[in-house]
Amino acid sequence: MKKIFNPTASEWPEILKRPTQTIEDIEETVTQIFSEVKQKGDAAVAKYTELFDGVKPINARVSMGEVDNAALEVSADLKKAIKLAKTNIEKFHAAQRTARVEVTTSKGVKCWQEKRPIQKIGLYIPGGSAPLFSTILMLAAPAALAGCKEIVLCTPPDKEGNVHPAILYTAQLCGITSIFKIGGIQAIAAMTFGTESVPKVYKIFGPGNQFVTVAKQLATRFSVAIDMPAGPSELLVVADDSANASFVASDLLSQAEHGADSQVILVSASRGLMDEVEKEIEIQLEELPRKEIAKKAIANSKLIYLEDQEAALELINEYAPEHFIIAAENEQFYSEGIYNAGSVFIGNYTPESAGDYASGTNHTLPTNAYARQYSGVNLDSFMTAITFQKISEEGIREIGPSIELMAEAEGLQAHKNAVSLRLEKLKRNK
């Protein structure tokens, strides 16, 4: 990891750059695949599944037999762990329910807001080098709580054309029956347009690589919403001498192993801690099965020494990390001062892994500085808020003249007439 000492604010933009390709490098490929899937449906999906996943055309829909067999391959201990995580995720997201909001804004004018589930949603679950069955819990559990009627799940097959058993087991546990062996750009395109096999959805959720991220953004041009433009994983730790260097190193590596394009950063005012963490990373790295992937991510990562904690907090807000760990004695300063972060983990015994799996919070979070304007997935992500109003005769008399004046000032005569006709009728009926 590159060490940087007391960088000035003018240097931060360069130091905090993500190791990502530009959209221009990817968009041409995504646009081409979208166009083919729109025109040719399942045939185009099969073509790109063979090209990218090395699997010749197969029946993309997962059969119930495959789901049942997968359940037999998942150990009892793992099933128990998945169920525990599901329970905690459901508890946290169920607590996010809000009641109908109702107010009388003027005499005879009643306004209220009610939430409704999005009827058709699509879930994208990465399944290549790391089968993220935990992401199913993060998306399907709140979707079910919200009351979404149709849930479509796409995940890439392995070289034998199969889906990881834990993905299928978790999907079944969450009540998902429409599961497709489709990955990458072609999965997002299939859910965007619909094919002979895959239903069209209204909103697409789920993390992925840079190609999936750009594909989701392209989907928004075709009247499909997305959860957020989430790309490669990232983590920032702020730590002082009260932190445990081995814990910090393990947290940094936990995100580095996600992918070669991931990025992790340590910010500290302790040179000694930075040195210890650097040594721990080297030791722990050698034991990781995904060592080569993590090494590439570590090469993209930084150890930043900043003496001033106000400057450190400002830099962290500038970076807007997906995951933010506070391993510092003055944790309140950072927890109250953070505005731009996807999810925050406080204290030496709160690893980022807890949020990834079983604490109950959602791990589908904004990356690439999108935490400045996007929230992580939550219960409201699966709902729309509809406003209602009911105006009585007294109410239209109360606010009608103001509406007439405003409409006339904007030059919208029909708007004014819609009120004037009603007011005139009420005058005649007196």
* pLDDT value of position 300: 87
> Is 413 annotated as contributing to ligand binding?
no
Q: Which two tokens stand for residue 162?
A: 């199969």
* pLDDT value of position 102: 98
3-state secondary structure of 122: strand
| CA count, 13 A, side-chain hemisphere, 92 | 19
> Is 305 annotated as contributing to ligand binding?
no
**CA–CA distance, 88 with 137 (Å, rounded to integer):** 10
> Is 50 annotated as contributing to ligand binding?
no
pLDDT in tens, the chain (430 residues): 899 999 999 999 999 998 866 677 789 999 999 999 999 999 999 999 999 999 987 789 999 999 999 999 999 999 999 999 999 999 999 999 999 999 999 999 999 999 999 999 999 999 866 789 999 999 999 999 999 999 999 999 998 999 999 999 999 999 998 999 999 999 999 999 999 999 999 999 998 888 998 999 999 999 999 999 877 889 999 999 999 999 999 999 999 999 888 999 999 999 999 999 999 999 999 999 999 999 999 998 999 999 999 999 999 999 999 999 999 999 999 999 999 999 999 999 999 999 999 999 999 999 999 999 999 999 999 999 999 999 999 999 999 999 999 999 999 999 999 999 999 999 998 7
Predicted TM-score (pTM) of this structure: 0.93
* pLDDT value of position 244: 98
Pairing assessment for the beta strands 101-106 and 323-327 based on DSSP bridges: unpaired
> Is 378 annotated as contributing to ligand binding?
no
Residues recognised as catalytic: 322-323
> What is the crossing angle of helices 23-40 and 210-219, to 10°?
60
* pLDDT value of position 129: 67
**CA–CA distance, 184 with 189 (Å, rounded to integer):** 9
| CA count, 13 A, side-chain hemisphere, 381 | 28
> Is 68 annotated as contributing to ligand binding?
no
Beta strands per DSSP E along 316-409 = 323-327, 343-346, 383-391
Q: Which residues of 143-172 are buried (b: 16+ CB within 10 A; e: fewer)?
A: bbbbebebbbbbbbbeeebbbbbbbbbbbb
> Are 105 and 168 spatial neighbours (Cβ–Cβ below 8 Å)?
no
> Are 250 and 284 spatial neighbours (Cβ–Cβ below 8 Å)?
yes
> Is 42 annotated as contributing to ligand binding?
no
Percent of residues in the chain assigned helix, strand, coil, to nearest 5: 50, 15, 35
Q: Which residues contact 281 (CB under 8 A, 6 or more apart)?
A: 1, 249, 252, 253, 298
* pLDDT value of position 131: 87
> Is 410 annotated as contributing to ligand binding?
yes
Q: Which two tokens stand for residue 292?
A: 């080569």
> Is 233 annotated as contributing to ligand binding?
yes
Q: Tokens 């933009």 label which residue? A: 13
> Is 368 annotated as contributing to ligand binding?
no
**CA–CA distance, 249 with 226 (Å, rounded to integer):** 33
> Are 132 and 139 spatial neighbours (Cβ–Cβ below 8 Å)?
no
* pLDDT value of position 411: 98
> Are 371 and 322 spatial neighbours (Cβ–Cβ below 8 Å)?
yes
Domains of the chain listed by start with CATH number: 2-19+232-360 (3.40.50.1980), 23-229+380-384 (3.40.50.1980), 392-428 (1.20.5.1300)
> Is 415 annotated as contributing to ligand binding?
yes
